[in-house]
Amino acid sequence: MSRLPKLPDKIQVDVTKGESGVLLARLPTFDVFTEADNLNELFIQVNDLINAYFDVPKEYQDKICYMPPRSVQKDLLQIAEQDTTNKLSEFDMSLRYDISILSQVQHAR
């Protein structure tokens, strides 16, 4: 079994809507970004970006996930649904993981 890398408990994410309507997500701490056509795709893309950045082995990728807090989800829906571009939402996505890999989870401090 591959080793799970140390992962931060939270990762800051900045989301804006571009002129073409695409949602842009930037992880400013790591200076990386991704884009998506809708919120569901955005969450998948952000998690794929995190997996790639931290070199998370494939066997763990379906067992860990970063999610935004519920309090931010309404703001994100407004950004995604409105015609307004360049509206910004800044928030932390928190690490969630399957209990079956609890002994493998190493939090970056």
* pLDDT tens track for 2-57: 788 889 999 999 999 888 889 999 999 999 999 999 989 999 999 999 999 999 99
Residue 5 falls within a domain, yes or no?
Answer: no
- Please give the model's pTM, rounded to 2 decimal places: 0.83
* pLDDT value, residue 76: 85
**pLDDT > 80? residue 87:** no
Is 73 domain-assigned?
A: yes
DSSP per position, 9-40: SEEEEEEEE-TTS-EEEEETTTTEEEEESSHH
Report yes or no on 94 lying in a domain: yes
Q: What are phi and psi of 75, to 5 degrees?
A: -60, -40
Question: Which structural domain, as residue segments, surrounds residue 83?
Answer: 10-101
Question: Mean pLDDT over residues 58-71, rounded?
Answer: 90
Report the pLDDT value the prediction gives residue 109, as an integer from 0 to 100: 40
Mean pLDDT of 53-65: 93
Give the mean model confidence (pLDDT) for residues 63-75.
87
Task: Pick 88 or 64 by higher pLDDT.
Answer: 64
Looking at the domain assignment, is residue 33 inside a domain? yes
SS3 69: coil
**How many structural domains compose the chain?**
1
